[in-house]
Amino acid sequence: MSSHAAAPHEVAPGDPPHIHHMDSTTAYGAAKLGMWLFLATEILLFAVMFCSFAIMRYYHLDKFHDASHHLNLLAGAFNTAVLLFSSFTAAVAVTNAQRGDNRGVVVNFGISILCGFIFLLVKAYEYSEKAHHGMFPFVWNSNFYEYKNFLGIYFTMTGLHALHVIIGMVVMFIYGIRPAMKNRYSGRYYTPVELSALYWHLVDLIWIYLFPLLYLVG
Amino acid sequence: MSAHATTAHNEELNYLNWKTGLWSWLSSTDHKRICFLYLFTILIFFFAGGAAALLMRLELASAGPTIPGIVKDPHTYNVLFTLHGVFMIFLFVVPGIPATLGNFLIPLMIGAKDVAFPRLNLFSYYLYVIGATIGAISLLHPVDTGWTFYAPYSTTTGTSVSLMVFAAFVLGFSSILTGLNFIVTIHQLRAPGMTWMRLPVFIWASYATAIIQTVATPVVGMTLLLIIAERVFGAGIFDPAKGGDPVLMEHLFWFYSHPVVYIMVLPAFGVVGEIIPVFSRKPLFGYKMVVLSSMAIAAVGFIVWAHHMFVAGISDFSAIFFSLVTFLVAIPTAIKVFNWVSTMYKGSISFSTPMLYAMAFVFLFMIAGTTGIYLAMLGVDVYYHDTYFVVAHFHYTIQGGAVIGLIAALHYWFPKMSGKMYSETASKFAFALVFIGFNLTFIPQFVLGMEGMPRRYYDYPSQYQNLHTISTVGAFMNGFGYTFALANLLWTALFGKVKAPRNPYNSVGLEWQTASPPIHENFPETPVVDKDPYHYGTPAHV
Amino acid sequence: MLGLLGEQGSDFAHKVDYAHDIVTIISVVCTVAIVGTMLYFAVIYRQRDGRDHETPMIEGNNLLEVIWTVFPTLVVIWVAYLGYDAFIDMRTAPADSMEVNVTGQKWAWDFQYANGKKTTGELVVPVDQPVKLVMTSRDVLHSFFVPVMRTKMDVIPGRYTYEWFRPIKTGDFQVFCTEYCGDLHSGMRARLKVLPKAEFERWLADDSEERKLASMKPSDRGQEIYGKQCIACHSLDGSPRTGPSWLKLFGKEGQLVGGGTYKADENYIRESILYPQSKTVAGYEAAANAMPSYKGQLSDDDITSLIAFIKTIDGTQKVAPSQPAAPKALDAAQLAAMSPADRGKALFNDPGNMCYTCHSIDGSRLVGPSMKGLWERKSKMSDGTEIVSDANYIKESILKPQAKIVEGYGPVMPAIYEGKLKDENISDIIEYIKTLK
């Protein structure tokens, strides 16, 4: 997790923060291990949704198939491309940080966050489109009553994912961009950038599974 | 295992008094102080949950309405058993040993200054407090679903299920972060020379527990969120009236809630593995097998969940599969018991209170384990499912296991934690009350189960009368015992006069090599470990 | 062998009990052996004179570890097989099983036989005949547990589960609901009656009631159904009970909870019967949740009849409450020969009076107070007064149920017994109550 990230005052820019109970190499290893464990818990969180999706689809196969055609395939595909690109820039930002290029971190994380905004905008457009057709979350318009299980899963999964997108954007800003603007990172210390990027990759990865399941397979 | 001789340092300044004032406690990131924050909070819910249990037992003391002034209708009774379950499980036993003694002991036992992420540790505590507060708010319109929150009852009842379920979600998040913190701590912060095979078994048990906490809890977290989605938006995943599947909810729920019993009881195994060698003056028999069995229980625990669902409408094939793998749990558990008993062979056994609790634990856990065999057997479980036999079995594992383990640990490490020695007479008296009261409560419930008495019944046919009455008497005795045991410790911690020496039991454990109570960062200088964890006795002359 | 689980009522019960016996013996032997060893060690290796004696540094023994890994493994494989063996029997219903449909709902069990006969709260089966229960639920999870048959299965809304048993003896046995289902979970019980084959055939073929219903004109049939299913909560004279009165109900307009209005036409009434929670009349918020759905319980014909009946309740004619059916099994001569208490018992259990549906005799709480120990009991009334239930009080309670309400119970008992039960009937019932100590 990111508890190590705040910089105590006495540390020179580019040096790891002083942590009273362990040395900086241990701290780096601990932070990375902690983050990976946290990502594992996130995946398990979504695993429940994937599992529910599989079961519900088994029960309501036809309905799922029909309902998925009501999703905006173009918007979904566009969003996939946007997130993939943002993951790339996040990875570049890590390289930037390792090379001490704090400006690069700001720019590339900036692009990733921008992509996040675009993703959310498109998602909001898709939601409003659904709402317009009476397929708004959980208020079952009788026309779409038969799709309720698909829509229930669709809105729960994409809603939860969108929440993760927002968290990822906030994390990249607070632990990536803000310290980088103060030239905080160097080859000796770039843990928060790496961890923020890891988290963003997870957000991307989950979408990579959501998109084909919801939009293509149905 | 021994630490380097500690150099001269100020004996007076320790973690309890190096900073003072309430805020210094509430904002402390010291793992030892966080242990106390947890301890006081969870004990509030222990007594709240206990009070609910005693009211239930009082109501059940006779057939028909018994205390209509308090439990005025079946609904009130249903609320009581729900609160008892939710408080005891989510607010007391799950954080029980890991969040209190795990916090206190893990850094001390591995020779670290603190856990890996001290601020995250404090954050976990406040998440727990937030979850507990939300749960307390839900008492305005208390939940009547049972702690299992089975759909569609939980998705349709009028009580504040959403709030309580969200509280459980937040508590789960706290549990995840604690587990994650411990895993990283054990991986990264071991003192020089503290190899994996020199870790005390309590650390191994905590490690296995932390893995379960981290891996299983997210699943129940999401399941609980889905219950909220079902109630608030009608998501149609669990409610059959909307095309959902209630059995799916049971699967997801037990995927967490079976392993969670190992979250509760594995640390207690660890505690017993620490206590028996010290008071027998012998190395822990078969250390490697004990370690291996902890990890095996954690691993197998993940694939046995559907044994809670033999009559829930799962296929016969899955029932057979889950029955078979459930039996696998019995093997590592049996190995542990054999090794604990063998440790006492040719020992020099003294009977301090912790040792009495540890021996009681072995006895109670034998009953818990063997009655578990009945419930793993398909044909027999069909009869016993949701009867008092299950209630009794569960309480033997969780109360006889986890709670007795916690009380044993609190006594054993009390000198280290508080720097004082408690009265052996008082604690042994409390032990007798707890032990007799506990068995008096739950042995009749085994018999009730044999006679077919279903659980969660506000009322019962009069043929079950006598056993219920005995059980009620036992429950009150048990309750007095715990109150007395904890009051004794609290009184000693606050007003006790007898100062505890650094190592009152002459233990070789690393945590005993520093001052009692320890200084803020545990050891004056990082200890170096050069021996096995239970280096007692004289090497054999070959 | 050990007989720990009590009476065996089904042909696979002995397998369950055998497995149970074996594991009991293993458990007791292991527990005694291990705890005994522990205590033995504790005694002979105890510290003496408060001083430690020298101990050997034994760190383990590989042979022992192998033994106590392999030995429990073999034992549990055997035990697992025993459990499996009993389970497979109880999951494999013979092809010649008699099927009975079981429906659970808060908080009662309904049974329907292949010939259409329906019962509530009482499952009647013939001895020596495999019976397969095909079960579903109308609302939440329930579980159908017959201890004496050693079988149990969850009852799930939206799908069917089954269990079966072959009764090996006649008798009257307890059925429990064992999956928590809400307020009256503990009251959700039924009786299992195992009859000799011939007697069962007679019982099953007895469709006098159904035939009577079919030949009635719709409004009479509706009245008959009202007397059985609706009377507890809906009055005909405008007096308030748990639900709205049916007086002048048809065509009535009014306010719904949450705004909106309703007009009580045929469709509205039908919807209210099938989906009670869909529209709630303002002022009856609490009652709406109390009313169960009658979907599947009342046929379309039943509902049409009920509507026809409701149309007749316009206040112009006094509707006589449904007449009690004379106890079928007993003729007048037999009744006269009985003791007063036995006559009272017959009246209490008479389907025409239905006392037993709301009043238990074993102390358990149903809709109304239990009759057990009622005689000369002191009870607190809803107005705070304390009343001793003597003959006058009981008589008043039967004839004018709303006069005094016991604290904690609703004013739901219908006033249908005046004129239906004569004074001597009531004194017989009182004699019967006196015997329920």
Residue B218 contacts A where some CB pair is shorter than 8 Å: yes
C242 has a pLDDT exceeding 70: no
- One-letter amino acid of B254: W
Please tell me the predicted confidence (pLDDT) of residue B7.
41
Q: What is the distance in angstroms between the Cα of B137 and the nearest Cα belonging to chain A?
A: 25
C161 has a pLDDT exceeding 50: yes
Q: What is the distance in angstroms between the Cα of B288 and the nearest Cα belonging to chain A?
A: 26
Neighbour subunits, B (≥3 Cβ pairs < 8 A): A, C
Average pLDDT over residues A90-106: 92
Kindly state the tokens that stand for C375.
Answer: 């005689």
Coil vs helix vs strand at B297: helix
Q: Choose from C154, C155, C367 for mutation: most chain B CBs within 10 A.
A: C154
Which band of pLDDT confidence, cut at 50, 70 and 90, is reported for residue C414? low
CA distance A217 to A71: 12
- The average confidence (pLDDT) of chain B is 91
Q: What is the distance in angstroms between the Cα of C7 and the nearest Cα belonging to chain B?
A: 9
Q: What is the distance in angstroms between the Cα of A177 and the nearest Cα belonging to chain B?
A: 22
Kindly state the tokens that stand for C154.
Answer: 């969850």
Looking at chain A, how many residues does it have? 218
Q: Nearest chain B Cα to C5, which residue?
A: B450
Start-to-end CA span in chain B (Å): 23
Which band of pLDDT confidence, cut at 50, 70 and 90, is reported for residue C256? confident
Place of tokens 């074993």: C362
Which of B99, B293, B232, B235 lies closest to B178, judged by CA? B99
How, if at all, do strands C131-137 and C122-126 pair?
unpaired
At C307-364, the pLDDT tens digits run 888 888 877 655 554 444 444 444 566 677 778 888 888 788 765 666 766 777 777 6
Coil vs helix vs strand at C334: helix
Q: What is the distance in angstroms between the Cα of A192 and the nearest Cα belonging to chain B?
A: 14
Binding-face residues of A in 9-28 toward B, CB within 8 A: 20-22, 26
The reply to whether residue C46 touches residue B350, judged by beta carbons under 8 angstroms, is yes
Please tell me the predicted confidence (pLDDT) of residue C189.
87
C263 has a pLDDT exceeding 90: no
C6 has a pLDDT exceeding 60: yes
Which band of pLDDT confidence, cut at 50, 70 and 90, is reported for residue C366? low
Please tell me the predicted confidence (pLDDT) of residue A184.
84
Instruction: State the complex-level ipTM.
Output: 0.91
Least confident of A11-20, B202-211, C217-226: A11-20
Please tell me the predicted confidence (pLDDT) of residue C240.
66
Residues of C in contact with B287 (CB under 8 A): 59-60
Phi, psi (deg, nearest 5) at residue C132: -110, 125
Contacts of B453 (CB under 8 A, 6+ apart): B387, B388, B460, B464
Residue C21 contacts B where some CB pair is shorter than 8 Å: no
SS3 for B451-463 is CCCECCCCCCCHH
Average pLDDT over residues C118-128: 90
Residues of B in contact with A152 (CB under 8 A): 229, 233-237, 242
In DSSP notation, C159-223 reads S-EEEEE-B-S-EEEEEEE-S--STTGGG-EEEEEEE-HHHHHHHHH--HHHHHHHHS-HHHHHH
- The average confidence (pLDDT) of chain C is 83
C46 has a pLDDT exceeding 60: yes
Q: What is the distance in angstroms between the Cα of A173 and the nearest Cα belonging to chain B?
A: 20
The reply to whether residue C65 touches residue B335, judged by beta carbons under 8 angstroms, is yes
Please tell me the predicted confidence (pLDDT) of residue C324.
40
Q: Which residues pair with B499 in a beta bridge?
A: B420
CA distance C271 to C291: 13
CA C93 centroid distance within chain = 24
Q: Which residues of chain B have pLDDT under 70?
A: 1-12, 541-542
Please tell me the predicted confidence (pLDDT) of residue C367.
66
How, if at all, do strands C161-165 and C189-195 pair?
unpaired
Least confident of B17-21, B393-397, C80-84, C290-294: C290-294
Which band of pLDDT confidence, cut at 50, 70 and 90, is reported for residue A1? very low
Q: What is the distance in angstroms between the Cα of B414 and the nearest Cα belonging to chain A?
A: 25
Q: What is the distance in angstroms between the Cα of B462 and the nearest Cα belonging to chain C?
A: 7
Please tell me the predicted confidence (pLDDT) of residue C286.
58
- One-letter amino acid of B313: G
Q: Is 0.90 topped by the overall pTM?
A: no
Residue C360 contacts B where some CB pair is shorter than 8 Å: no
Contacts of B140 (CB under 8 A, 6+ apart): B160
CA atoms within 13 A on the CB side of C89: 22
Q: Which residue among C31, C184, C407 sits closest to B74, beta carbon to beta carbon? A: C184
The reply to whether residue B345 touches residue C408, judged by beta carbons under 8 angstroms, is no
Residue B309 contacts A where some CB pair is shorter than 8 Å: no
Q: Which residue among C88, C365, C407 sits closest to B459, beta carbon to beta carbon? A: C365
**DSSP code of A11?**
S
CA distance C119 to A119: 60
Which of C300, C357, C299, C295 lies closest to C138, judged by CA? C295
Coil vs helix vs strand at C125: strand
At B85-107, the pLDDT tens digits run 999 999 999 998 899 999 999 99
The reply to whether residue B359 touches residue C38, judged by beta carbons under 8 angstroms, is yes
Please tell me the predicted confidence (pLDDT) of residue A135.
67
Please tell me the predicted confidence (pLDDT) of residue B444.
96
CA distance C391 to C140: 42
Q: Which residues pair with C102 in a beta bridge?
A: C111, C135
Which band of pLDDT confidence, cut at 50, 70 and 90, is reported for residue C381? confident
The reply to whether residue B235 touches residue A153, judged by beta carbons under 8 angstroms, is yes
- How large a percentage of chain C has pLDDT more than 90? 34
Cβ–Cβ pairs < 8 A, chains B and C: 302
Kindly state the tokens that stand for B85.
Answer: 């379950």
Please tell me the predicted confidence (pLDDT) of residue C353.
67
Please tell me the predicted confidence (pLDDT) of residue C121.
84
Q: Which residue among B185, B219, B521 sits closest to A47, beta carbon to beta carbon? A: B219
CA distance B516 to C315: 87
- How many DSSP H helices and E strands does chain C contain? 13, 14
Coil vs helix vs strand at B233: helix
Residue C64 contacts B where some CB pair is shorter than 8 Å: yes
Q: Which helix (H) or strand (E) holds B110?
A: helix B103-110
The reply to whether residue B123 touches residue A41, judged by beta carbons under 8 angstroms, is no
- How large a percentage of chain C has pLDDT more than 70? 86
Residues of B in contact with A40 (CB under 8 A): 214-215
Coil vs helix vs strand at B177: helix
The reply to whether residue B379 touches residue C72, judged by beta carbons under 8 angstroms, is no
How, if at all, do strands C161-165 and C142-146 pair?
unpaired
**Residue B9 burial (CB count, 10 A):** 13
Contacts of C176 (CB under 8 A, 6+ apart): B452, B454, C145, C147, C188, C189
Residue B213 contacts A where some CB pair is shorter than 8 Å: no
Contact by Cβ (8 Å): B209, B179: yes
Phi, psi (deg, nearest 5) at residue A59: -75, -40
Q: Nearest chain C Cα to B309, which residue?
A: C154
Binding-face residues of A in 186-205 toward B, CB within 8 A: none
Average pLDDT over residues A4-22: 65
Which of C175, C129, C125, C123 lies closest to C150, judged by CA? C175
Q: Which residues pair with C387 in a beta bridge?
A: C379
